[in-house]
Amino acid sequence: MDAHSSAPVPPPGCPAHGGRVPLYGPDFAANPQSYYDYLRHYGATAPVELAPGVNATLVTEYSAALQLLQDSATFRKDGRRWREFNEGAVPLDSPVVPLLMHRPNAMFADGAEHLRLRQAITDTMARIDTRRLARVTQQVSDFLIAQFGYRGSVDLVGSYARQLPLFVFNELFGCPADIGDRVLFGISNMFDGINAEQAAEVLYGAVGELVTLKRSRPGDDVASWMMEHSSRLTDEEMVHQLALLLSGTDPEGNFIGSTLHRLLTHDAYAHQGGLIYEAIDDTLWENPPMANLAPHYPAVDTEFAGEQLKAGDLMLVSFAAANRSPILAGERKVGSRAHLAWSAGPHACPSKDPARQIAMTAIENLFNKLPDIELAVPESSLSWRPGPFNRGLVALPTRFTPVEAARPVPAANATNRQEPGKAGEKTGRWSQFLNWLTK
């Protein structure tokens, strides 16, 4: 055998000799696993570029990722420690900066401040009644299916997977439709790196309006419950805590869409019963909705996994790469939930149980209503969203036997990517849902 036959081969668009590996562009979006496979030749960590001029160290190995996520003494979350950003080496207009820069919420806090902000989230989310969540998800699912069920074809990402979490969160958070639509616009474009600075302004402006609304008119909803919490959050903290939670609409849409993709493209799954649970777990293992995130910064110069790091170096965890670490080969069992899709340690996702419940209810109801739904295009023609952080389909075209709508529903409005300043039709969409419920 040739001595060089086992050398790692960089994927298209990936630098073959030295330098940092770019986690952006169409080649990365099309086949990120080939990039992760290549990155492994660096060891447990690898030098990457998140966007032009934005460097990071990416943790790709499972045990190293766990060590990082669980060691809050050595690795801190406060984004104000980001050394290269503070030194002016990071372009201020970079599309990834709005998602990485410090915010006064639990994600970017350490120590006692993190405990205070985190407790406000966990106590608030614990008040969500699972029966209410199931009922709302079922109602939203029925409404969305009624809008396209008579047509016999639909893009399940644009018309179902990405819309459903927004509707559910609108109800749980007491979020009016016009505010909710701007939230989705802001979150989607921040994750995709599309006009990210403007998207961030839209998101935080919309949530600020929600906080003002709930201060004057509290209700039986997540936003109002968080205001009542003993942590006594300021308005600024409320905005950033709620924005953090509402940002779950984007990965939740990716999660639902990728699980539907798996069910429609893998013959091993049936469209009913316990196999949906298996498809959900397999998606979280092999195609997690957040592929690379969890920014951390060494508190001091340190060595980690054989790599010398400076204080304030940006480190990210590749959940997608870690879940496929070679050390896990043969260890993973059916039904195992030891994956890192929800992160781990003190900053693990506090909403993983509601997220699973929403996805399960949405997928079960879809296949119950449209049992013969199938992919309408070759799988090879599907494309994935850009950017280094998320993992989600752009579209999932399907076809099925048309079904008569249970209730008359006006035609669906424009795409979620519509400019938020032109959201008049979008406000009507929420009104359509409320009117539909009362008929």
Q: What is the pLDDT of residues 405-421, one digit of tens each?
A: 655 555 444 333 344 44
pLDDT of residue 273: 52
Give pTM, 2 decimals: 0.89
What fold does the segment set 21-438 form as a domain? Cytochrome p450 (1.10.630)
The yes-or-no verdict on residue 303 having pLDDT over 60 is yes
pLDDT of residue 439: 66
Q: What is the pLDDT of residues 324-338, one digit of tens each?
A: 998 887 666 556 788
- Region 199-215: mean pLDDT is 93
Judge whether 291 and 32 are in contact, CB under 8 Å. yes
Q: What average pLDDT is seen over the chain?
A: 88
pLDDT of residue 153: 97
Highest mean pLDDT among 168-172, 294-298, 401-405: 294-298
The yes-or-no verdict on residue 395 having pLDDT over 70 is yes
pLDDT of residue 196: 82
Confidence of residue 423 (pLDDT cuts 50, 70, 90): very low
- In the chain, the percentage of residues whose pLDDT exceeds 90 is 72
- In the chain, the percentage of residues whose pLDDT exceeds 70 is 88
Element of type H or E holding 30: helix 26-30
Q: What is the pLDDT of residues 137-170, one digit of tens each?
A: 999 999 999 999 999 999 999 999 998 998 898 8
Task: Using the CB atoms, write b or e for 157-171: b if 16+ within 10 Å.
Answer: bbbbbbbbbbbbbbb
pLDDT of residue 407: 52
Judge whether 163 and 415 are in contact, CB under 8 Å. no
SS3 content of the chain, % helix, strand, coil (to 5): 50, 10, 40
